[in-house]
Amino acid sequence: MKTICLTIFSLLISFHLFAEEPIRVLTINVRLSTARDGENAWEYRKEFLTDILATSSDANKPYDFIGSQETVVDPRPEFNQVDYIISKMPKYDALWLSREKTPEQGEAMLILWRRERWRIDETDQGTFWLSETPDIPGSKTDPKAGCPRCVTFGLFRELKDNKTTGRKLYICNTHYDHLSEESRQRAAKQVMTWISTRKDKNAPLVIMGDLNCGEKSPAIRYMQGEPMTIDNTELQPPLALTDTFRAANPDAVDVGTFHGFKEEVGQEKIDYIFSTKELKTISSKIIRTKRDHRWPTDHCPVEAILNWRL
């Protein structure tokens, strides 16, 4: 009888794990709409791009969270990517703020979440700038940086039948500088310090974005727990994050995520979805879908399917 009871208990646990809905996450640099991209201009690819956002490759299920970078906020409707994307995603709520001093114009780190399953904590959300003055919009510390950079974040509580389940996690979206290596390293330091001192340290965290540097770069290694030297001082990271793509594909070689609308994709993976140790990676992939031989944007989106560890 004892053996039968243990077997039934094990089966119930297994069924619970199998039935548990995973967390589906996508990061995508949408390529700003104001760029002069000719046949790859925003107006020619925007419908394809939002089709990519609509369903994950995991059994055609919707994403729980989508983080987009380079998402233009503009008073001219034809260039306003934030408004267009939100209009095409009616089952999602959104959080964003322009990285510039003027909130009505610039680029935003847009976070979309599936409102049926998630509710944002109104007291634990916002945007901070990757600078020595993180609360000042448009600020940057490194004069060699190409533009201001920021992080948009929120604490989300899981819902089931419109009631909270008790589970929660942070979602963060960022975009490191494309010109300055020093700026990327300082950004990594600031981000990791913020993560280690976040308001709810018990909540798991996902941070995604276009980090503009490859897997062997100091900034990426630091985020995964390796020391990094800044101003002749060796810094020890306060924690180690998991690169979800590498957790699922440790031996992958074809990992480039930037192509600039060219046929060939570059060699470096510069787009990432990181998670804290409380989350486990089920799968992750680089999405290289084309339509009529055209890309939806100049980066390959990256998808991760996650779950809570017991």
Q: CA-to-CA distance for 30 and 309, rounded, in angstroms?
A: 32
Is 225 inside a domain boundary? yes
* HEC secondary structure over 158-200: EEECCEEEEEEEEEEEEECCCCCHHHHHHHHHHHHHHHHCCCC
180-200 confidence digits (pLDDT tens): 999 999 999 999 999 999 999
Query: Which residues make Cβ contacts (< 8 Å) with residue 198, sequence separation at least 6?
Result: 170, 205
Task: Please tell me the chain's helix, strand, coil percentages from 3-state DSSP, rounded to the nearest 5.
Answer: 25, 35, 45
Is 61 inside a domain boundary? yes
**Token pair for 150:** 């920021």
In the predicted structure, residue 5 carries a pLDDT above the cut 70: no
Is 4 inside a domain boundary? no
- Sheet containing strand 279-286, edge to edge, reads 92-95, 106-114, 65-73, 23-29, 302-308, 279-286
The secondary structure of residue 265, as a DSSP letter, is: P
222-247 confidence digits (pLDDT tens): 999 999 999 999 999 999 999 999 99
Is 6 inside a domain boundary? no
Per-residue pLDDT, 56: 83
In the predicted structure, residue 282 carries a pLDDT above the cut 90: yes
Task: Answer with the residue of higher pLDDT: 125 or 14.
Answer: 125
Domain of 265: which CATH number?
3.60.10.10
Q: What is the sign of the dihedral through the CA atoms of 176, 182, 188 and 191? A: negative
Helices of type H across 202-309: 218-223, 244-248
* 117 band by pLDDT with thresholds 50, 70 and 90: very high
Query: Which residues make Cβ contacts (< 8 Å) with residue 200, sequence separation at least 6?
Result: 124, 155, 168, 170
Is 116 inside a domain boundary? yes
Task: Answer with the residue of higher pLDDT: 15 or 49.
Answer: 49
Is 111 inside a domain boundary? yes
In the predicted structure, residue 20 carries a pLDDT above the cut 50: yes
In the predicted structure, residue 18 carries a pLDDT above the cut 50: no
**Number of domains comprising the chain:** 1
Per-residue pLDDT, 12: 43
Encoded amino acid at 193, one letter:
T
Is 3 inside a domain boundary? no
Residue 161's domain spans which residues?
Answer: 22-308
Q: CA-to-CA distance for 210 and 93, rounded, in angstroms?
A: 22
Is 168 inside a domain boundary? yes
In the predicted structure, residue 272 carries a pLDDT above the cut 80: yes
CA atoms within 13 A of residue 161's CA, in its CB half-sphere? 0
Mean pLDDT of 59-87: 95
In the predicted structure, residue 39 carries a pLDDT above the cut 80: yes
134-178 confidence digits (pLDDT tens): 999 999 989 999 999 999 999 999 999 999 999 999 999 999 999
This prediction has a pTM of 0.93
Mean pLDDT of 40-44: 98
Q: Does residue 164 contact residue 119 with C-beta atoms inside 8 Å?
A: yes
CA atoms within 13 A of residue 148's CA, in its CB half-sphere? 26
Please state, as a whole number, how many other Cβ atoms lie within 10 Å of the Cβ of residue 149: 29
Helices of type H across 227-299: 244-248
